[in-house]
Chain A
Amino acid sequence: MFHIGKNTRSRIISKGISAGKSNNSYRGLVKVSPKADGARNYSQCDSMLIGDLCGANTFPYIEVGNKSATVEHEASTSKIGEEQLFYFLSRGIDSEEAVSMIINGFVRDVFMHLPMEFAVEATKLLGLKLEGSVG
């Protein structure tokens, strides 16, 4: 993300999901040029882990050339744990459905900004990718 002009604003939301033995890294550069007075950036990196063998990393790069700029970064990691799954199971919902519901909730912030057709495709793709990842 490059901030060149004055009073420019930007927001980055990254949602990463790691399942099985996968590792997911976020690397993002936010650069504010010397002329960009009052520039603002907010970055949020959320990672979700499914199972015990996966991981997630966040490497935010920030280069700020203007003293009046505000750059924020927030990161969170959550895990679909046994307790969460048991809660869904104890209501009759099987684990595949539970995971898909939790994951869809996790990515909702991003998917709700996508065009309808694309959001539908993305949701389906996510379901396919995660099939059999629990158990």
Chain B
Amino acid sequence: MKILIVEDEPKTGDYLQQGLSEAGFTVELAVNGTDGLHLASEGDHDLLILDVMLPGMNGWQLLRSLREKGRQVPVIFLTARDQVEDRVKGLELGADDYLVKPFSFAELLARVRTILRRGRTGIESATLLVADLEMDLLRRRVMRAGNRVDLTAKEFGLLELLMRRCGEVLPRSLIASQVWDMNFDSDSNVIEVAMRRLRAKVDDGHEAKLIQTVRGMGYVLEAPKETK
């Protein structure tokens, strides 16, 4: 998966490039709008991450020129300004998502993966499997090492999200948004508590802990690494 970042702030650009590279993407970085447009027109990127305020040509102009050339690559806008009209403008131009600075990297990564996963038409499997944890989506049943795990509806939804995006660190805001449809940062520790309770049900009494807290980032569900 190839991503083009157009960001003029050097630190942000470098860290985004590093972070996304380490997450397994091939990343190119342009530091102004003109170079960005050139690279985006020539290249075969799967996703563009555009800063709105750019020297040379701003993000919107870049996207407009790109769309006029017929390139339909998905775009995430980054901006320091959070104005409704900005958001509307970005979406009207055909942006796929919009992140307001300061945003957390985990959040960006989660959204990048969401967009890249979109359109990939895999056969929807009826069961999800991670290590010895098995989720039956049709019967809404969860088994851990052959034993039934009783979950509430929201816990089921939470576990489903973690399993579907197995191996990805999911930030709290994304979890709140996807599971509870709460599209804002709550100042309470609701997610921590919910995760703690889910973990107690899923992992307690098992040697291998599947649900991990990544401090400062969020939560991840993954099979324990064999090498350790």
- Chain B associates with chain A: no
